[in-house]
Structure 1
Amino acid sequence: MATEAGRKNVEGLPEKVHVWPYLVRLEFLCAIIVVLALTVWSITIDAPLEEAANPTKTPNPSKAPWYFLGLQDILVYFDPWFAGVVAPVLIIVGLMLIPYLDVNPKGNGYYTYTERKLAIWVYCFGFLVLWIALIIMGVFLRGPGWNLFMPWQYWDPHKVVALVNVDLPYAFGVRSYNMALLFGGAVVLGYFALGTAVYFFLERKAIKYVGFLRMFIKIQLLLIMGGMVIKIVLRLGFNIKYIWVTPWFNI
């Protein structure tokens, strides 16, 4: 279905286009082309299979299937409770909540970018940065010992990397355990509190028709996405291991 502006600018065109035969025919042709391309590709290029499994030889590194390498790479930056439990749950629950959180009627029944720029960019950020990029890193850049190798570097199984990771409070000169606990908590909670406050201030007019609960859940999911990227950058760029260290969990 075209938008109102599109219907005014283009005269003589129908307001609606039926799914059959127009959309189905186009999708069927695209499917045939993709199947033919994959068939030719699979015939002409051998699959990059490794040698037969040897129970006496453990591969280095031991990698999960490529579609799970994103989660495996997250283990470098987060504790197992987050990378193995919380992150997958947030991905599944977040995707399930999209129809309930996004009540904007624009884009329903037709493709549009100008009317849904934020939604498209948020989805692309989550899919490309927090999933595809981590998979590519795990497949092509993680070598023996799960060390990070650049594409031009040889995967030396004897490479030793000096681990000089420190926690964020320590990097700021906080040496007391209790003070470090308070410092890390203030940083994490302040990040979520400030991000939530700024979002509600910028979108204060939308509270009436979107609802407080929807907006609150939406911004928390967005802040978690952004926080994961911040944590990855801190680890790779500044050797920061944890931001908040507690007796029960570490972030």
Structure 2
Amino acid sequence: MEATTDPIISFRNVNKVYEDGTVGLKDITFEIPRGQFLVVVGLSGAGKSTLLRTINRMHEISSGEIKIDQEPIQAYKGKALRQLRCHIGMIFQNFNLVNRSSVEKNVLSGLAGVYPTWRCILGLFSTPDKQRAIQALKRVSLTQKLYARADQLSGGQQQRVAIARTLMQDPKIILADEPVASLDPRTTQDVMDTLQQLNREDGITVIVNLHSVALAQKYADRIIGLRAGQLVYDEPISRVTPTALNQIYQTN
């Protein structure tokens, strides 16, 4: 599914300064069209994770404005903030699964924003939602692992469980923070292929932080580059050149 020109996310003059004075983001202004597969590249410490985590308010910005679906999100509290996060999936480098729980329970935990906490703890999910969990695992080719413990899976399988968990949220946005950094090349391709499939078939806007320029060029519709918290590169994949990408990683 091709991205539309309608921005689902807008950054305007966004700054993030941590309490110790470290600049996380500096005057970030850009828009992300609905349905785009955006890859963010840059050195470690460039601000990639900070940028992602401002979208679901895991990190608060110091100034500026972020809009999702044309609505400023900085003032969201309580129910409004929970609803925002319900439809923004987050995939982490370290998977964030409960290792001693089954794959099924880990996937169903994607409904934590919908179910009361006590029902999640006791595993009291409805039959339709359990069927949804099976369908989510089918999307990532893991239905055969439904009752396996998470810590019995390979790294790639654990990351695909994390993606299935995100699908339970019916997300309109998926944020993936270095989702393949700890995976081997074959498993990396499987995970990136899955994210691309969800983007193209479901129209989910996908934003991925990557270190690998080669992966960025293979999967992105558009690449942006950060250096020291600043946006230093922004091009559609058709205009991306290796020389320009390499300049993002210059430190002087």
Same fold by TM (over 0.5)? no
The structure whose residues are more often helix, as a share, is 1
- Structure number with higher strand proportion: 2
Higher gyration radius (CA): 1
TM-score, normalised with respect to structure 2? 0.20
Higher relative contact order structure (alpha carbons within 8 Å, sequence separation ≥ 6)? 2
Q: Could you tell me the TM-score, scaled by structure 1's length?
A: 0.20
